[in-house]
Amino acid sequence: MNPFKKSILALAAMSAIAMVPAHATGMIAGATFPEQIVQELTAVEQYATQAQQLQAQFQQVYNQALSLESLPTQMWPNVSGNLQQLINLIGSAQGLTYATQNTAAGVQQQYGVNGQSYQANLSQWNGNLTSQIQQALNQYGLQASGFQTQQQALNQVENASQSAAGRMQVLQAGNQISGMLVNQLQGLQQTMMTNGQVEMNAIGADNAAKLQQNQINQQFLDGSTGAGFY
């Protein structure tokens, strides 16, 4: 078992103990902060794995197209399917960072950890991802402005498929973007893991302090009851 998965399991175990109510702005409304943190860490791991699989598929088709010096029409369905998965994955990853920012804001408000830096890093990650995608699209003659929404992106991909040159441009862009997304998601994974541990430690420490105080209060009440009042 890899260290990241072990860490997630450890955080999951903590979440079963630290049942702290969260705002209904995370991935699942009504989840506790620890549950949301674990859900978000699990999601980013899954997205990173999906990105690696997609990149391998893009690279395989790209190598075939290079050997043929073009992208045959019969190969296009594989490419378009991978492109749709890539576009959806980018949208999911960006949505995850927004959910994680909400969780971080709630933890910061309640426990005073991470501050604005973590939320700023997540926002910057989104900005960097968008910028790198735009650069890749422009490099291969594709209009970045036409990829502002998932539907617009899919429409432009479909339009490009009408010519051999367009198909090759989209394949090249998809291959580059998928490789870039792997690196970006692996970096995001590490950032979320580090900050998730900080958040869990703060929640655990707060719960331990409250439990200790409750025990002290109970001992005081038990002593008072035993002594009686005259």
pLDDT over threshold 90, residue 27: no
pLDDT, tens digit (0-9, with 9 covering 90-100), for 62-107? 999 988 888 888 889 989 999 999 999 999 999 999 999 999 999 9
Q: Cα separation of 49 and 185, whole Å? A: 9
**Which amino acid belongs to residue 206?**
D
**Terminal C-alpha separation, the chain:** 64
> Is pLDDT larger for residue 68 or for residue 175?
175
Q: Which residues pair with 21 in a beta bridge?
A: 32
Buried b / exposed e along 133-162 (16+ C-beta atoms within 10 A): beebbeebebebeebeeeeebbebbeebbe
Specify the pLDDT at position 86: 94
From the list 78, 101, 91, 12, the residue with the least C-alpha distance to 51 is 91
Helix (H, G, I), strand (E, B) or coil at 29: coil
Q: Provide CB contacts within 8 A for 30, sequence distance 6+.
A: 22, 24
36, 26 contact by CB (below 8 A): yes
pTM: 0.82
